[in-house]
Amino acid sequence: MKSHLGRRPFSAMELHTLYHGYIYGDQRLPREQAKHWHFWLPLIAYYSGAYSDEIGHLQLDDIVEHQHVFCFHFHTHGKIKARIVPIHQALFDAGLNDYIALVKQQNHTRLLFDLPSKSGRYSEKVRIWFSGEGERAGYLQKCDIPSIDQLGMKTAISSLRLNFEQQIRIYAMQANNKDAFNYLLGFNEYDQHEFNDITQLNQITQQLRVINPHIHWSRFLQRHAV
């Protein structure tokens, strides 16, 4: 696995905690300013392996259909290549189509329209909300997950990409298709611009472990204050 600034993937127990935290439960914290992107970005990150800035840049036009498979088109990260990543069924089960309908109804063109940018980047706002800053606790801390473990390894929103990488490596190897692994991660080891067999990409990505089958956007909207 390619390390990222001394970071590690989340453990299975940490993933369970994150995706059973208050964002995905029935209670809203006091003074919490809930945003749609708080719900969707960690899910899309886990099921796509994309960086938060890539997800923040997603336009509705970046949701594309290839070979009867709906995909995200990521193409805004300077260090990794543009790529098509099939949308995991768990995202549709969580109400993605309903959310897209709302985005269109409100005449927005960007998928996570309520995620603000800072200096043209979305990752900074995501980092502060997810990992905290100074005395301000982030979602990690509110879920009682340390940002640095006993070995000095960090967890952050980009750790979800490492979880994606872990699983995709296994499923691509089982399919005897290392090119699919390199393409889905945007690695330069895949030297083509496109991947012809979207069906196989979909078969590989759909094997990603579903972390909480009870997650749904409507539940997020209906949360009540503690």
Distances, alpha carbon 31 to alpha carbons 34, 187, 224, in Å: 9, 41, 12
* CA dihedral sign of residues 59, 158, 130, 218: positive
Query: Is residue 215 a part of any domain in this protein?
Result: no
Q: What is the mean pLDDT of residues 45-51?
A: 98
Domain span including residue 131: 12-26+34-210
Q: Quick one: average pLDDT of 1-27? A: 85
Average pLDDT (57-61) is 97
Residues 167-223: tens digit of each pLDDT: 999 999 999 999 999 999 999 999 998 999 999 999 999 999 999 999 999 999 998
Q: What is the DSSP letter of 212?
A: -
CA distances from 200 to 1, 166, 178, 187 (A): 22, 18, 12, 18
Q: What is the mean pLDDT of the chain?
A: 93
Alpha helices (H) in the chain, listed in sequence order: 12-18, 36-48, 52-57, 89-93, 96-105, 123-131, 139-142, 159-174, 178-185, 198-205, 217-221
Domain presence at residue 123: yes
Q: What percent of the chain has pLDDT over 90?
A: 81
Residue 138 has pLDDT above 90, yes or no: yes
Report the first-to-last Cα separation within the chain, whole angstroms: 41
d(CA 32, CA 65) in angstroms, rounded, equals 36
Beta carbons of 181 and 167 less than 8 angstroms apart = no
Contacts for 209 with CB less than 8 Å, ≥ 6 apart: 167
* Total domain count, the chain: 1
129 within a domain of the structure (yes/no):
yes
Report the amino acid identity of residue 200. Answer: Q
188 φ, ψ (degrees, to nearest 5): -70, -15
pTM of the full structure: 0.94
Q: Tell whether 3 is covered by a domain.
A: no
Tell me which residue has tokens 């594309």: 64
CATH for 83: 1.10.443.10
Look at residue 82 and tell me if it is in a domain. yes
Say if CB 154 and CB 44 are below 8 A apart: no
Is position 1 within any domain? Answer: no
Q: Is residue 223 part of a domain?
A: no
Residue whose C-alpha is closest to residue 222's, from 24, 59, 75, 10: 24
pLDDT for 3 equals 44
Within a domain: 112: yes
Name the residue among 221, 183, 37, 46 with its Cα closest to residue 123: 37
